[in-house]
Amino acid sequence: MIRLLRELRDLVLRWWGDFTLQTRLMAGATLVVSLLMSGLTFWAVNTIQADARLNDTRFGRDLGLLLAANVAPMVYAGDRSELARFSYSFYQSTSSVRYMLYADEDGAIFFGIPYSEAAVQNSLTLRRRMQLPEDYAKSADLPFVRQHLTPAGEVTDVFVPISYDGKYLGVMALGINPNPTVVASSHLTRDVTVAVFVSIWVMVILGAVFNALTITQPIKELLTGVRNIASGNFRQRVDLPLGGELGELIFSFNEMAERLERYEAQNVEELTAEKAKLETLVSTIADGAILIDTNMAIVLVNPTARRIFGWEGRDLLGSSALQNFPNAVRVQLTRPLFMAAAGNSEGMEFRIALTEPTNRTIRVLLNTVRDQARESVKGIAITVQDITREVALNEAKSQFISNVSHELRTPLFNIKSFIETLHEYGEELSDAERREFLETANHETDRLTRLVNDVLDLSRLESNRRYRFDSVDMTQPIEQTLRTYQLNARDKKITLSHHIEPDLPLLRGNYDLLLQVFVNLVGNALKFTEAGGHVAIWAYRLHHQGHVDGADEYVRVEVADTGMGIAQEDQDAIFDRFFRVENRVHTLEGTGLGLSIVKNIIEKHSSQVHLISEVGVGTTFWFDLVVSPPDSEPSLVMVSSPLGNDAAPEGIDAATLYPVMPSEA
């Protein structure tokens, strides 16, 4: 039943929805008028009936009092025959009385008219009682009147107490018929009301049919055509043979559609070209670009943004941006995006660290897209910049400045301390103490000079400075390095040797940079090798397949020592700036920049420096250099491209280093 009612309701709603606004207004006005007329008519009928009931009540009360006064002596005398004759004579003389009943003081009925009623005919033989109203009192002097509806019509009941000489004798009940003229008038008024109501709605239905045939159908056709035009179907036409204003409207609509179709044909190619230009421009932007609407649905996304967020190969247009963003981005941008969509903020910037799809740091810029009047927000433009390298460089810069400041503070503090002591207490110090203070200051000055030179060298290597690369004979920088450190090695009683394969080919590189590599590696080897140890330089030809530069022949260079060695936990950080093994062993001093300089120089030679070391056995550093092609021209190199070759040198492992054979340099 409920389902049937719902279907009926839906049917009525659809039927009502098909009407035009004019038809709905007409139906509403007709309903109001018909209800107003019906209400006035029913009000008139009710007023007439109320007046009739009031007249019936007054008539019944007066008639009851009159009859009670006439029958009271008869009831008091017990002359029921005379009472019956009088009552029957009165009943026959008027049509207003429907029944007459007499009851004694206990309510027992002892006489009633008409005699044709079975209940009244048996009233003389059967003991029947009159059920008086609850609010009726025996001591009341006035009659009690009420009205009720019976199958034969409305009846006015009048209960009159019968008293004689102040003694209560019983009750007389009269049934009074309504005024027939008033009843007929009420029925006539009701029939007229129904006829008026039906006539109004017949006129409404006829008007609705006429309206549907002449107005509603053309308007529906025009409405369908307008919707098709709005959706881009400019081929829509309305073909209805109508005249007058509707005919002119249909003609104008068809003319408008034809012009729009011609305009679309003329401009679709130009619009397509402009769209292609815009998409090409957005796709070539180095930063990520995302455009979303106010419902957070993605409208546009360029390839850079897809790469940053790992969206390659996914169809994102129309989907929710918040559901597709990585969790870190979603947490920080949810509230700002909704604020921007509501127009409460603009030009916000965020820095977010991503862990998916890769570890990177991004800068996100939010800007609202508004209409030409700058009143309402149409969308949100999101710019995503990958600042991972920038963050890393800033951190490296901060760390570098911190390390340099720390390294400069120690020698400067020592120099200042000894100079102040000499300045204030120079006369109190002995010659040996003054000489010791000056030697210490001189030593710290040399240390400070080395640090500054290393910092400048490293800065030049990491800058965009161009270096001239040409053919280099590897024997020359090796021999020059050995000559430089020969006396130092002899003083420390360390054997310094070199093993260079005969007829080595020329290498592609920068002589000064390679010389600095050997100076740093040999200097470190001598520093960490005790007396009686060995330091050797090896250089030999090596055939290497599959190099990224396409070359097959290289020269491998190794610098080996029998020093204290480098622990495994230090080998990963040995090439970092300001990292020193003496930080752990606390025996020797250094700037901690030598191996960083070596690493940068070798990378500029398109290679990488490797090491194999064991504590108490020794250390070997090695790298490969490309053989220079015959008749090659000098070139300028600015950046490096490391090989990534981590293979150990041929014939060497962590336990057994190259045997260092003494030879004269």
Asked whether residue 19 is assigned to any structural domain, the reply reads no
CATH code: domain of residue 399: 1.10.287.130
What pLDDT does residue 118 have? 45
Beta bridge partners of 379: 369
Is residue 362 located within the same domain as residue 424? no
**Contacts for 68-71: CB closer than 8 Å, 24+ residues apart:** 68/143, 68/160, 68/161, 68/162, 68/172, 71/102, 71/162, 71/172
Is residue 551 located within the same domain as residue 599? yes
What pLDDT does residue 287 have? 84
| Interatomic CA distance for residues 6 and 567, integer angstroms | 85
Is residue 488 located within the same domain as residue 585? yes
485: which 2 tokens?
């450190």
Q: Is the pLDDT of residue 216 over 80?
A: no
C-alpha atoms less than 13 angstroms from C-alpha of 145 in its C-beta half-sphere:
17
Asked whether residue 416 is assigned to any structural domain, the reply reads yes
Asked whether residue 568 is assigned to any structural domain, the reply reads yes
Q: Is the pLDDT of residue 665 over 70?
A: no
620: which 2 tokens?
């070997």
Asked whether residue 515 is assigned to any structural domain, the reply reads yes
Is residue 445 located within the same domain as residue 480? no
What pLDDT does residue 136 have? 63
Lowest-confidence region among 249-253, 371-375, 420-424: 249-253
Is residue 536 located within the same domain as residue 489? yes
Helix (H) or strand (E) holding 261: helix 244-283
What pLDDT does residue 620 have? 92
Provide the 3-class DSSP secondary structure of residue 90.
Answer: helix
Asked whether residue 407 is assigned to any structural domain, the reply reads yes
What pLDDT does residue 548 have? 46
Q: How many separate domains does the chain show?
A: 4
| Interatomic CA distance for residues 225 and 258, integer angstroms | 12
Interior/surface letters 326-347, b for 16+ CB within 10 angstroms, e for the rest: beebeeebeebbeebbeeeeee
Provide the 3-class DSSP secondary structure of residue 562.
Answer: coil
- Assign residue 347 a region (left: φ > 0; alpha: ψ between -120 and 50; beta: otherwise): left
182 within 8 A of 52, measured Cβ to Cβ: yes
Note down the domain range covering 485: 464-637
Is residue 507 located within the same domain as residue 563? yes
Asked whether residue 252 is assigned to any structural domain, the reply reads no
The C-alpha angle with vertex 13 and arms to 8 and 17, in degrees rounded to 5, equals 150
Separation in Å, CA 589 to CA 93, 516, 569, 581, 586: 149, 19, 20, 9, 8
Is residue 470 located within the same domain as residue 531? yes
- The string of pLDDT tens digits covering residues 523-576 is 888 888 888 899 999 999 887 655 545 556 788 999 999 988 888 877 777 777
Chain-centroid distance, C-alpha 198: 59
Lowest-confidence region among 121-125, 207-211, 234-238, 524-528: 121-125
> At residue 424, what is the residue type?
E
Beta bridge partners of 128: 109
Helix (H) or strand (E) holding 94: none
The C-alpha angle with vertex 311 and arms to 316 and 279, in degrees rounded to 5, equals 65
| Interatomic CA distance for residues 103 and 129, integer angstroms | 7
354 within 8 A of 326, measured Cβ to Cβ: yes
Please tell me what DSSP assigns to residue 560.
E
Is residue 532 located within the same domain as residue 438? no
Asked whether residue 50 is assigned to any structural domain, the reply reads yes
Side-by-side strand order, sheet with 348-354? 298-301, 288-292, 377-386, 360-370, 348-354
What pLDDT does residue 558 have? 92
Is residue 570 located within the same domain as residue 450? no
Confidence at 639, pLDDT banded by 50, 70, 90: very low
| Interatomic CA distance for residues 470 and 633, integer angstroms | 7
- The string of pLDDT tens digits covering residues 79-88 is 888 888 888 8
- The string of pLDDT tens digits covering residues 86-135 is 888 888 888 778 888 888 877 788 888 875 444 444 444 445 566 666 65
**Phi and psi, residue 147, nearest 5°:** -130, 145
Is residue 444 located within the same domain as residue 482? no
Highest mean pLDDT among 244-248, 266-270, 326-330, 412-416: 326-330
- The string of pLDDT tens digits covering residues 582-599 is 544 434 455 567 787 788
CATH code: domain of residue 331: 3.30.450.20
Last residue of a domain, one of 386, 402, 419: 386
pTM as predicted = 0.38
342: which 2 tokens?
């509501």
Interior/surface letters 157-190, b for 16+ CB within 10 angstroms, e for the rest: bbbbbbbbeeeebbbbbbbbbbbeebbebbeebe
290 within 8 A of 304, measured Cβ to Cβ: no
Q: Which residues, 6+ apart, have CB-to-CB distance to 324 below 8 Å?
A: 298, 309, 311, 314, 316
What pLDDT does residue 632 have? 56
Is residue 621 located within the same domain as residue 482? yes
- Number of other residues whose CB lies within 10 A of the CB of residue 605: 27
29: which 2 tokens?
């006005």
| Interatomic CA distance for residues 104 and 171, integer angstroms | 6
- The string of pLDDT tens digits covering residues 181-200 is 766 666 777 777 777 777 77
Q: What is the dihedral of CA 474, 477, 479, 483, to 10 degrees?
A: -170
Is residue 407 located within the same domain as residue 377? no
Last residue of a domain, one of 184, 217, 240: 184
Give the rounded percent of residues in the chain with a pLDDT score beyond 90: 2
What pLDDT does residue 642 have? 34
Asked whether residue 421 is assigned to any structural domain, the reply reads yes
Last residue of a domain, one of 401, 435, 454: 454
